[in-house]
Amino acid sequence: MIAANTPERTVTIRIQRQDGPDKPSRWEEFAVPHRANMNIISCLQYIAANPITTEGKETTPPVWDSGCLEEVCGACTMVINGKVRQSCSALVDKVSPNGAPIELTPMTKFPLIRDLWVDRSRFFNDLKKAKAWVPIDGTYDLGPGPAISQATQEQMYPLTRCMTCGCCLEACPQYSLTNNFAGAAVISQVRLFNEHPIGKALKDERLKVMMGPGGVSECGKAGNCVEVCPKDIPLLESIAVVQRQATVHAVKSFFVK
């Protein structure tokens, strides 16, 4: 039992604030009442409802992106204590078990919109460029598709877990604001749809994209992507597979005009 005069335990959250892409950045610190099993999103929600810093200064509510709040949509990615991850699944007591301040900063590999919110349009546009989808003929019922063996399903299923969160891109030393490298997530989706019995209809088109500027050859195999992927997707394996596919495609294209 807690005595009536015992101070309420608080969590200190330090947020890197920036009112816009061309505005100066600043740090603001907030004290959030601790609750069991609370996550970073719940801290941000409390701060948004009570935007008063630990210095007693009133400020604007922080801005961030989120959707499902159950590590499915990938929208709430940010850098928490120096590590890129999902803020919905980042539990306060695990992120800071000793009660140290928790620092939140936006991802650096995408254009900043405001505070912790970034523009991931490039990521989605690269998926479009790589034709990361299964082509169908019309929108009417086409009946059942080709059967996929159990072995192929088990091999491909981990690739379907990608939620376009961008963690792998944030951690990748080759991916930056100033280049056009597609990154591990896009390459892995190319592998997924190249192996699909219907998706492989666009395999040659995808491989042409992968052989061009920003393609698979620009990967430096650092392996950072695997370390931070919240879904344990075998990204390096996918990169190796697509590189082999691109090599075979290049050789065939040389001899078959």
Has residue 132 got a pLDDT over 80? Answer: yes
Examine the domain organization and report whether 58 and 176 are in the same domain: no
pLDDT band at 143 (very low <50, low <70, confident <90, very high): confident
Residue 166 and residue 180: Cα distance in Å, rounded? Answer: 15
Examine the domain organization and report whether 52 and 87 are in the same domain: yes
Q: Does 139 map to a domain?
A: no
Residue 60 and residue 48: Cα distance in Å, rounded? Answer: 8
pTM of the model: 0.92
Pairing of strands 83-86, 117-118: unpaired
CB 102 within 8 A of CB 80: yes
Tokens 């990361």 belong to: 132
Give the domain CATH number at 44: 3.10.20.30
Examine the domain organization and report whether 154 and 231 are in the same domain: yes
CA angle 166, 172, 177 (to 5 degrees): 75
For 72-95, what is the mean pLDDT?
97
pLDDT band at 140 (very low <50, low <70, confident <90, very high): confident
Q: Does 144 map to a domain?
A: no
Give the domain CATH number at 194: 1.10.1060.10
Domain count, the chain: 2
**What backbone phi and psi angles, to 5 degrees, belong to 112?**
-75, 140
* Residues 53-81: tens digit of each pLDDT: 999 999 999 999 999 999 999 999 999 99
- pLDDT: which is higher, 154 or 145: 154
Q: What is the pLDDT of residue 46?
A: 98
Q: Does 1 map to a domain?
A: no
Q: What is the pLDDT of residue 27?
A: 98
Tokens 């697509």 belong to: 242
Domain that holds residue 184: 121-134+149-255
Q: Does 5 map to a domain?
A: no
pLDDT band at 7 (very low <50, low <70, confident <90, very high): low
pLDDT band at 5 (very low <50, low <70, confident <90, very high): very low
Q: Does 242 map to a domain?
A: yes
Token output for 144 = 């059942």
Examine the domain organization and report whether 112 and 170 are in the same domain: no
Q: What is the pLDDT of residue 127?
A: 98
Q: What is the pLDDT of residue 154?
A: 94
Q: What is the pLDDT of residue 3?
A: 44
Examine the domain organization and report whether 129 and 89 are in the same domain: no
Has residue 2 got a pLDDT over 90? Answer: no
* Residues 20-34: tens digit of each pLDDT: 999 999 999 999 999
Examine the domain organization and report whether 125 and 234 are in the same domain: yes
Has residue 88 got a pLDDT over 50? Answer: yes
